[in-house]
Chain A
Amino acid sequence: MANNGENPSPDVGGKTVKLKADDGEIFEVEEAVAMELQTVKSFFDDDGVSYDTVVPLLNVSSTALAKVIQYCRRAVELRAKSGDDEGANEKAREEREGLEAELVREESDEGIKELILAANYLNIKDMLSFLCRAVGDRIKNKSVEYVRRFFVLENDFSPEEEERTRNEVAWAFEGVDAD
């Protein structure tokens, strides 16, 4: 229904925004967090849209949205911590990198792709950036077949082309790292 266990109620007094995922689940988030999602920001920037309006995010699953909100919440907190102090900035940066690493470490390939598409649709620049880096890392040093499976791509080369490539770059199909 409205709030699930992973989505604690926001503090009383702050403005909140309601986001609806593809399965109808509603997430209530603090305004500052919601504005991290540029798509949502644009939605409200349009004249006369009140904050009571539920933002429909039909291309985002509830699992992905939950994770996005979780990340953005932490990111907003960390940004508040950093200021002019070099030491505090460094610490905040390290914490953010730790948060990003944790987020991608636990994700399956499908999960990470879902997050990338969500981050792209919701237009969250920083999140998209580190997710792209993470995917780039996952396909580094892997065989062509692995990459095809990861991205769910068909082999659209003609048999002759494929044969020629295999002969020239045989090892590319075996890969270096175990798939």
Chain B
Amino acid sequence: MLTRLKTQVPLFSMNSYTKLREKLKLSGLSFASTHSHVIRLGRHSRHNSKMAVCIAVIAKENYPLFIRSVPIQNELKFHYTVHTSLDVVEEKISAVGKAMADQRELYLGLLYPTEDYKVYGYVTNSKVKFVIVVDSSNTSLRDNEIRSMFRKLHNSFTDVMCNPFYNPGDTIQSKAFDSIVSAMMVQAS
């Protein structure tokens, strides 16, 4: 528990996970049901989570080419999660100097941990971003596995781009891509 938290909040290793939770609950960050999509910090039932809960592909101009999430009823929440994560992505890209851009690693690592999820990022050389959201209770997932997921995603995306009938900049509707994504996603139980 503690080791995981260290990776999650490297800055505040003294904060135990339970304290964090407690803080969350007490800080009153909960919203009216009408705006429940905003951020619900309360606990909610978990799925049999194994892998990603949301996968998004974002164009160079920062609009979504593809976004798919597991709990359909709360899709907008993931939109917000992914959207805000772009700040971190941009910051990370710009942090790497221009000279280094060629050797830059595509995998950006953990973008930021939210209360319920961990958000990972990956940027292709053409500045197309991949974002994978993982349930933060999912401790079994190693960094390597996330990397391999991104690699798979990238390969499949390359295939999509190779399709002469695909217009770059359009939303991705490829079935092959979709099935790759589905394979990475948690099956809601």
B partners with A:
no
Spell out A's residues near B (CB within 8 Å): none
